[in-house]
Structure 1
């Protein structure tokens, strides 16, 4: 990967993913990106992960409690920044990486110095697109998505929120990128203030993205594709129930910080993103009514 690769780091928070899935990911990183500084965070007390990390020469960090991904990532980011990392990759354990994915993402950011966050195209194991980028969230859309999902989908609001009109076939500036595979410029992160540790479950990325938008671009690139296979990551009904509650608490904190019905910055950022997609998506005088869009 050259000089840029030597200044890149990566964080994998293992969660409930099977150790076999983690090993496949580590093998992929070791093969394609041997100079990337990898941090493996064990937040579920998996037996054998420490030995696995030692086998692949990556940094193992055990997390005995669960303070949230934002706090975990901030700890790793500080360590990676101290080690001289210029780019940092957030990587979920359910992602499969092509051999050249990291190199191409770093190369794009090297060529575009105004980009602070970079998200690749995500597809499922069947090759179908998984639309993971979105507009900034608003409470109305969050309520519709949770309580009336069929109406949310049939009305076209979900498609607009997830930027379907783009076809995910071109480079575009996005208000909120995917967090499952996200390359970040370390300098931009430090200037933006890193993650707000009050937020969990997607809202930490939403909050970071809108603060980053004040100083740099957040870009989606279709020419780098990764594969997401959630079947590799477990979690029963207790986990899902806890996630639902944490999402509600995080949403409440997020809207208290940025505004519920009145959020002018959200309107401007979303309107700018929709204008890229053409007049059909940017109607209503190019402005999205406050409270229109939510985190999925």
Structure 2
């Protein structure tokens, strides 16, 4: 098998999930898709008869990272490459093939993501520096749009044109095209984070030994919605995950973060500051 993929679902609408499933299966490559269902009911069972699809019902919500880990910990289920795929992603035929060829030609790349756009075609800023407390915690509680725009401009690497292939220390977890041999070496998602932050942590660990690359030659559509900004329970989970991540890697004294962010910014001709 060349490419495996896992989708973790929780009460997703059929038409949304159908688009993700059909997008991934629309390829001539040897692929397999695992749908890991965190929903309270196994409504999805029986939706997909394609033999390349395997359905796994958890009967509880184990979280984003833990759901994907059910597959990623079992190396017998993984292809040469493994795609962590959000259920609200869709794309045209050729995306998987292009990314596969890019990874084959660049053996030092551990994770790759294409350009990601909203349904209206607007660019999503999915390339990020390693987060500081300001980037995560403080901006959650500051309602001033001007301050948030200033933080986002730097954190989301908006100082780049998002039109070039570039190395990025933190790529969004909505579409992670992973090299399986890298996952065997680095490990899987940290399950201490139920949701939010686990993609940051995994990207950072991969970036320590491999390249993590933004590849805008192809694109996917992401029906992105910031659920944690609308749901109080998810907001608390977001804060808890952020605190756990910063406790793990360092709050204000994170030498590796400073070194990496400094290097990335200077590569793009940006002035470095101590944050």
Q: 2: distance between equivalents of 1:48 and 1:208?
A: 31
Give the direction of change, closer, same or farther, for the CA distance of 1:197–1:227 in structure 2 (3 Å limit): same
Give the match's secondary structure for 2:73: helix
Give the direction of change, closer, same or farther, for the CA distance of 1:188–1:157 in structure 2 (3 Å limit): same
* Equivalent residue number for residue 221 of structure 1: 215
The match for 2:55 among 35, 60, 82 is 60
Establish whether residue 15 from structure 1 lines up as the match of residue 10 from structure 2. Answer: yes
Shift of 1:47: 4.9
Q: Gapped runs of 5+ residues in structure 2?
A: none
Establish whether residue 138 from structure 1 lines up as the match of residue 129 from structure 2. Answer: no
CA contact (8 A) 1:144 1:151 kept: no
The match for 1:267 among 236, 258, 262 is 258
CA contact (8 A) 1:91 1:180 kept: yes
The match for 2:241 among 240, 250, 262 is 250
Q: 1: distance between equivalents of 2:228 and 2:28?
A: 30
Residues 177-205 of structure 1 deviation map (CA, whole Å, 9 limit, x = unaligned) = 01111100011111112111112333111
- Out of 109-118 and 249-258, give the one that drifted further: 249-258
Q: 1: distance between equivalents of 2:183 and 2:165?
A: 22
* Equivalent residue number for residue 182 of structure 1: 176
* Equivalent residue number for residue 72 of structure 2: 77
CA contact (8 A) 1:10 1:39 kept: yes
Shift of 1:55: 4.6
- Out of 199-208 and 46-55, give the one that drifted further: 46-55
Give the direction of change, closer, same or farther, for the CA distance of 1:139–1:234 in structure 2 (3 Å limit): closer
Give the direction of change, closer, same or farther, for the CA distance of 1:131–1:84 in structure 2 (3 Å limit): closer
* Equivalent residue number for residue 276 of structure 1: 267
Q: 1: distance between equivalents of 2:6 and 2:175?
A: 10
Residues 86-120 of structure 1 deviation map (CA, whole Å, 9 limit, x = unaligned) = 10001111111111111111111100000001011
Shift of 1:50: 1.1
* Equivalent residue number for residue 51 of structure 1: 46
Give the direction of change, closer, same or farther, for the CA distance of 1:84–1:253 in structure 2 (3 Å limit): closer
Establish whether residue 157 from structure 1 lines up as the match of residue 151 from structure 2. Answer: yes
- Out of 68-77 and 182-191, give the one that drifted further: 68-77
Matches within 5 A, 1:91-110: 91-110=85-104
Give the direction of change, closer, same or farther, for the CA distance of 1:48–1:34 in structure 2 (3 Å limit): farther
CA contact (8 A) 2:36 2:56 kept: yes
Give the match's secondary structure for 1:53: coil
* Equivalent residue number for residue 3 of structure 1: none
* Equivalent residue number for residue 198 of structure 1: 192
Shift of 1:23: 1.8
Q: 2: distance between equivalents of 1:246 and 1:16?
A: 18
RMSD between aligned alpha carbons?
Answer: 2.1
The TM-score normalised by the length of structure 1 is 0.86
Q: Which has the higher helix share?
A: 1
CA contact (8 A) 1:200 1:246 kept: yes
Q: 2: distance between equivalents of 1:169 and 1:113?
A: 22
Shift of 1:84: 5.1
Q: 2: distance between equivalents of 1:84 and 1:124?
A: 29
Shift of 1:220: 0.3
